[in-house]
Amino acid sequence: MLLGLLIGAAIGNVAWTLFFIISIYLIWHLRNLYRLDQWLQGKRAGIPHAVEGAWADVYHHLYRLQQRNRRRKKRLASMVNRFRESTNALPDAAVVLDVNGNIENWNKTAAKLLKLRKQDAHRPITNLMRQPQFIQYLNSDEYTNNLQLPSPFNEDVQLSIRVVPYGKNQRLLMVRDISRLHKLEQMRQDFIANVSHELRTPLTVISGYLESMLEDDEDWVRENEGSFKAMLQQSMRMQNIVADLLLLSRLETEEKTNKKQTVDVPAMLKMTKEDGESLSHGRHTITLDSDPQLCLRANSEELVSVFSNLIYNAVKYTPQGGDINIRWYADEQGAHFEVQDTGVGIAPQHIARLTERFYRVDVGRSRATGGTGLGLAIVKHVLGRHDATLEIDSEVDKGSTFRCHFPSSLIMEREVA
């Protein structure tokens, strides 16, 4: 501008000279702007030559920014690749689901196990796996337990499915092929059921003969009466174990919804309490406090085994003179069955394991009272089949309380005749 002024003054036309110089200056800026635009659009590689002044700085800063972004992109790409490789190496199928349950991403095992193809991306997973149990599980928001079901593509393949929520309403679907484990489990169940079945007849024959021998008044029987009685007692104990094992394997294999009907629980409890009293032989005070209107939609045979197991246990593990209180009531949470005794109690470290098969706190005491070690395992199975839970409170030498919580959905009011 200064130069323009001087030249303008020398030639006597300041305005035109200034106009001319400013125009050149503007053209220079516009040209640089155009080059920058071309460069940013990637139409020119490298920094254009002959850039001077303020534009050189702009190019320099932009170039550095671009380099930094490139390095970052490269790092991210290699991270994503490494992540992809590691998920592909997983032996389990992993499928990323978005907020709406659409398939976002998956690993190699998922592609193999769930037959996922490129065109399945962004489609709902329920288009692929249409089993009602799966849809219910996916929509339940309660993923603490795994879901087991046959593969929709091959009936012989058993899948164990787990949903892991993460991030903002995203879910990871983990699927494992458990066909081998499932087969082993089936073999185990069949084996127990078959062995129990095979043992039942010989045991019935043995105890039948022993019973009739003991009724005979033969001398040789009287001389060995003690031994015969012990033999009869043991064979009966084995019969009880076999019966409990058969019941357990039936509970494991039968469909959950089988044979549910309205059960008159108050009447059932009255009878079971009487059975408990005859087992007690007047050694305990047994009380029953039950809501006379409160019935339950349940499997009657299974329910009676829960009540009798818990009441007989209270009798078996409560010394003479103790109290046993049985309650049956309902509240907002559902229906509750409770057996409280003033018996030997259970130390805390045993409580979590009581429902395992053959787990006994005191093997000697259990055998002496004719226990099979399977009662609470049966209770747990039956409750599971009714969506009910078992709660155990106990203190050594003070007593125990066993509570069964049944969901409100099973409650039925007594029908008025």
CB of 314 to ligand ADP, least distance (A): 5
User: Following DSSP, what letter does each residue of 353-379 receive, concatenated?
Assistant: TTTSTT--S-HHHHHHTT--S-HHHHH
| 195's tokens | 């062995």
Q: 4 vs 375, which CB is nearer to ligand ADP?
A: 375
Cβ distance to ligand ADP smaller for residue 48 or 345: 345
As to burial, measured by CB atoms within 10 angstroms (0-12 exposed, 13-18 middle, 19+ buried), residue 61 is exposed
Q: In what order do the strands lie in the sheet with 411-413?
A: 261-263, 294-298, 411-413
Smallest distance from ligand ADP to CB 283, Å = 14
Is the CB of residue 225 less than 8 Å from the CB of residue 214? Answer: yes
Count CB-CB contacts under 10 A for residue 84: 13
How many other CB atoms are found less than 10 A from the CB of residue 176?
19
87 versus 372: smaller Cβ distance to ligand ADP? 372
Nearer to ligand ADP by Cβ, of 17 and 394: the residue is: 394
Q: With respect to ligand ADP, which residue has the nearer C-beta, 48 or 373?
A: 373
Shortest spacing between CB 290 and ligand ADP, in angstroms? 19
Look at residues 266, 271, 263 and name the one whose alpha carbon lies nearest to residue 293: 266
C-beta closer to ligand ADP: residue 87 or 308: 308
Binding site for ligand ADP (CB under 6 A): 309, 313-314, 317, 341, 343-346, 354, 359-362, 366, 371-377, 400
Q: How far is the CB of 402 from ligand ADP (least distance, A)?
A: 6
Residues 313 and 369: their CA atoms lie apart, in Å, by 9
Q: How far is the CB of 276 from ligand ADP (least distance, A)?
A: 12
**H-run or E-run covering 390:** strand 389-395
Q: In angstroms, give the least distance from the CB of 320 to ligand ADP.
A: 15
